[in-house]
Amino acid sequence: MRLLNKVALVTGSSSGIGRAIALRYAREGAKVACADITPTARSPVPNELDITTHDAISQEGGQAFFLQTDVGDASQMENAVLKTAQQFGRLDIMVNNAGVSLESRTPARIHETTNELYDTTMRINTRSVFLGSKYAITQMLKQDPHPSGDRGWIINLSSILGIVAATENPSYCASKGAVSNLTRQVALDYARDRIHANAICPGYTRTAIYEETTEYMHAAADLIRRHPFNGPGLPDDIARVAVVLASEDASWMTGAVVPVDGGYTARFSFASIGTLVAVTTAALLRPSICNQTALSFPVTMRLDGVAPPPDAVEPKSQREKDEDVEDLKAIDNAPEVDAFGDEANAEVKYKTLKWWQCGMFMIAESVSLGVLSLPATMTALGLVPSLILIIGLGILALYTGYVIGQFRERHPYIHNLADAGEILMGSFGRELFGLGQILFSIFIMGSHIVTFTVMMNTITDHGTCSIVFSIVAFVICLVLSLPRTIKNLTYISTASFLSIFSAVMITMIGVGVQYKGGQNISITTETNLYTAFSGVTQIMFAYCAHVAFFGLIAEMEEPKDFPKALCLLQGFEISLYVTAAIVIYYYVGNGVDSPALGSAGPVLKKVAYGMAIPTIIGAGVVNGHVGLKYIYVRIFRKSGRMHKNDWVSVGSWIGIGVTCWVIAWIIGEGIPSFSNLVSLISSLFASWFSFGLPGAYWLHMNYGQWWSSPRKCALTIINMLIFAIGGAMCGLGLYASGKAIHDDSSRSSFSCANNA
């Protein structure tokens, strides 16, 4: 065993080359710390999905543990080194493997490359190598030398594009070129300290990224045809070279930048002296190295000049070339980046939302006439249990909202629940969460159309057919949904805020004048499960704004200010809910209507409904905007189309709006017992979006560190309970709403009848 009792830290260890290196090191006797953003590969390769890297090592009798690490974050990289040294007593080998190739999705020349894409690439590919080397060397200098006399081994994964350039890959080429030269620089600085620093430059490798390109097999076939060894290679081919560089077999090697590409770059008519020396040295050390092939970037990389001689392959037709370009642009294997990208020169700017505007939008989305249903929950549950639930769930919603902000800070490319679902559950999670978000939004839109008809029937004493009122609501909501940015909905949000506050005040004043108060209230009450949880769901739905949080943060001017907006929302919500529920229930008692506007008397009921018009419309519009924006971003993400004011961009937004509002109108008018169906959908999704899933987000972010300290233990238990609470809310909510649908058959489809 060439690495017996050495301690290695490997970044990007969950899949591909990093996984192969970690497994190979363990088989050679090393103790391995596996660092990655997630422990499980985000790939379709079965043997990588079946078991995590550190578990695979443990099953083979090795020693390994997982460290959740954002390699571009200095504190997390330093913590990874410290945790490794604490766990195993020292650190001998640092493998900086983590990297991305974002331009494989959207090849572009430098003037077309977004600042965000460049910054993200440099952060993960280059900054991570700087941080890993810095903190690893700090640890190596503190500890006793290895028995061999060497203090440590730094192995950086560069690329053949760290040696030569390729078209339309400025960020990747710059990042990997920097890795190659940084390796040489570190080697010079620490050679006298007996710290080795070498880089491996992989070529094409059969990694998960490569496997996902099988639908473009003519591109893969072309690669194999032109490859000297009929490539690509395997991740383990790279791992074997990494073993050599970390062993005494390479005791006379430092500063080497070794291309391991199966001869792919040998077709170049030029090579640097450093490259020739590195290849020759590696070949002398172990002849099998000459047979290695690898790829640290997707098959979509195109190397100018790296091709067989003209007589070796028939030239491609222009049609074949065009097909290749389209295939290359279609491959979708890299992590997402910020949905809105660089807006410096954009016609339409999205990231302009101030924190207080964000807070107002969340209030408009969350607080509507539902607040006036809370007094009725006190009839079902009693005064004290209701207060405990209103305050308790409000505080819980504050915490879960904060966790959502943390999760989005950890993954800055998240724009919606589908993005979060992809992180948790891969492509299945993306589609499941995305479907849930759009269904939830459309049903909420439909509920506000129905509420508008109730309001108009109340004010006009059923002045005309209810369907006419619903069509009016549809048109108003559609027109107000035309702005594409959340900032341009600020006026609607503010009007909605003032509207609901005024409606609540009028209702409280009205019941205070008409009733003596304190005559018919219950501190606690006996009830059945159905009635009790119907009341609980009313409180739960009052805190269901979280579905919009990811999208709101994405459009904030300063995402770090999101906690301020969250505190504004929860502070207002809890205060208003508690005040309105206590005052109205105290005066009216157990006979209070739901919503409580009906208890204010016939005249004040109409006045209060009139004041509530902006919130009835506004809350529907802002909730609808969340669903519309998800579809819009899903279609046009990274295309640049969202930032334009041309007919395609504007027309697409209007088309999405018309489609969604028509669907909302149809289901609102066409489905009997629609309000109960909204409760069913809300139980199914809001219970998870606002409560259960944030617990999963926290557990995902802290995977591998759940029991690392007393504080972590407490938070782990809390978040497991939060996840369980979400599940309980979902299950019991489905029961309560399902029973309500079963028992209620009073409403017919598309009816002109008075629904007030």
- Write out the DSSP string of 97-142: -----GGGTS---GGGS-HHHHHHHHIIIIIHHHHHHHHHHHHHHH
Q: Is the pLDDT of residue 480 over 70?
A: yes
CA distance 30 to 26: 5
Element (H, E) at 440: helix 417-460
| pLDDT, position 337 | 56
Q: Which amino acid is present at 395?
A: I
CA angle 499, 502, 508 (to 5 degrees): 140
CA distance 42 to 234: 18
The token duo for 375 is 């007094």
| pLDDT, position 225 | 60
Are 76 and 36 contacting, i.e. CB atoms less than 8 angstroms apart?
no
Mean pLDDT of 398-420: 91
Residue 72 in 3-state DSSP? coil
| pLDDT, position 481 | 92
CA distance 415 to 317: 41
Are 596 and 507 contacting, i.e. CB atoms less than 8 angstroms apart?
yes
Q: Is the pLDDT of residue 707 over 70?
A: yes
The token duo for 533 is 């949880």
CA distance 91 to 195: 12
Q: Which residues pair with 8 in a beta bridge?
A: 32, 93
Lowest mean pLDDT among 172-186, 286-300, 471-485, 534-548: 286-300
pLDDT averaged over every residue in the chain: 83
Phi, psi values for residue 205, rounded to 5°: -130, 145
Distances in whole angstroms, Cα of residue 632 to Cα of each of 288, 361, 432, 629? 52, 19, 17, 5
> Of 278 and 405, which is predicted with more confidence?
405
Q: Is the pLDDT of residue 46 over 90?
A: no
Q: pTM to 2 decimals? A: 0.60
Do 7-260 and 349-516+531-744 fold alike per CATH? no
Q: Which residue has the tokens 């018009």?
A: 613
The angle that helices 417-460 and 647-670 make with each other, rounded to 10 degrees, is 60
Annotated active-site residue in 25, 118, 135, 172: 172
CA distance 371 to 595: 8
| pLDDT, position 316 | 46
| pLDDT, position 678 | 66
CA distance 232 to 662: 51
Q: Is the pLDDT of residue 215 over 50?
A: no
Q: Is the pLDDT of residue 36 over 90?
A: yes
- Spatial CA neighbour of 201 closest among 252, 256, 243: 256
The share of the chain scoring above pLDDT 70, in percent, equals 84
| pLDDT, position 164 | 85
Are 559 and 553 contacting, i.e. CB atoms less than 8 angstroms apart?
yes
Number of Cβ within a 10 Å radius of residue 347: 11
CATH match of 7-260 with 3.40.50.720: yes
| pLDDT, position 40 | 77
CA distance 139 to 132: 11
Distances in whole angstroms, Cα of residue 219 to Cα of each of 169, 268, 300? 18, 21, 8
Give every CB contact of residue 290 below 8 A, 6+ residues apart in sequence.
Answer: 263, 282, 283
CA distance 751 to 670: 9
> Of 280 and 630, which is predicted with more confidence?
630
- Spatial CA neighbour of 220 closest among 207, 232, 228: 232
CA distance 701 to 411: 10
- Spatial CA neighbour of 737 closest among 552, 536, 520: 536
| pLDDT, position 747 | 59
Q: Is the pLDDT of residue 290 over 70?
A: no
Residue 135 bears catalytic tag: no
Residue 347 in 3-state DSSP? coil
CA distance 271 to 275: 6
Residue 11 in 3-state DSSP? strand
Instruction: Label residue 595 by pLDDT band (50, 70, 90).
Output: confident
Domain boundaries, the chain: 7-260, 349-516+531-744
Q: Which option is the CATH number for 349-516+531-744: 3.20.20.240, 1.10.260.30, 1.20.1740.10, 1.20.272.10?
A: 1.20.1740.10
| pLDDT, position 10 | 97
Burial class (CB in 10 A: 0-12, 13-18, 19+), 143: middle
| pLDDT, position 450 | 87
| pLDDT, position 296 | 35
CA distance 370 to 359: 19
pLDDT digits (tens, 9 = 90+) for 492-520: 988 998 999 999 999 999 898 888 877 88
CA angle 620, 625, 628 (to 5 degrees): 125
CA distance 459 to 603: 9
Phi, psi values for residue 19, rounded to 5°: -65, -45
Are 582 and 388 contacting, i.e. CB atoms less than 8 angstroms apart?
no
The angle that helices 693-701 and 710-743 make with each other, rounded to 10 degrees, is 160
Q: Which amino acid is present at 654?
A: I
Instruction: Label residue 328 by pLDDT band (50, 70, 90).
Output: very low
pLDDT digits (tens, 9 = 90+) for 224-251: 666 677 677 889 999 999 999 999 999 9
CA distance 25 to 235: 13
